[in-house]
Homo-oligomer: A and B are copies of this chain.
């Protein structure tokens, strides 16, 4: 067992997108899709959709297309949607709250298991059924809940300290929303998301407005990627 994976990064970053579109189709009782339809709804080129899906196995049938249910379960399996992965979120400002209450996590195999903030006004508060605790209790929390992923939602200057605390309690994957790079020992995965960065990139293309050109008259839009180390 376990030829770990040979799925290209670019494909991985699109799997959540396919998952979302397919879930919407399943909701509408659609049972079958073609790569063309998926292409229209995701903004990914049709051939690219097929290549991506081919990485997960031979899922389609030649004349017909793909069964929505088959694709859904294949992608869900790849992304671990069926698992129950406890999250620790540190920083309960507006962003932390938004994340804590975000319904999209639980339906994708994540469970917000712990909320931490060093502001005494916030500790003790109940958010989505979780009581906000002081970060000093992170170690205790980790021994009982074994969180696998940590989410940093604190101001930039505090991010490095939080990251180190997370690594210290055995968290090996970190999603960092703070606008500041964190350094971690090798072996720890960090993924950086910065809201201002996204806005600046959009702003750049807005200034240098120069249609990258697209044939379709209506066009959905891609998004983001590149993992870490």
Contact = CB atoms under 8 A, between A and B. Distances in A.
Interface residues of A, number: 90
Q: Find the residue from A21, A101, A174, A186 having the highest chain B CB count within 10 A.
A: A186
Nearest to A198: B193
Interface in A180-196: 180-187, 189-196
B224 A110 contact: no
Interface string A145-179: 00011010000000000000000000011111001
Interface in A104-123: 104-105, 108-110
B205 A189 contact: yes
A14 B83 CA distance: 34
Interface in A197-212: 197-212
A199 B108 contact: yes
Contacts of A182: 220-221
Copies of this chain, complex-wide, total: 2
B202 A191 contact: yes
A213 B12 CA distance: 18
A189 B201 contact: no
B206 A227 contact: no
Given A197-B17, A224-B197, A224-B225, A110 B173 contact: no
Given A94-B94, A223-B226, 11 more contacts: A12-B201, A15-B200, A16-B201, A20-B180, A94-B97, A102-B195, A105-B199, A172-B209, A173-B203, A189-B209, A224-B224
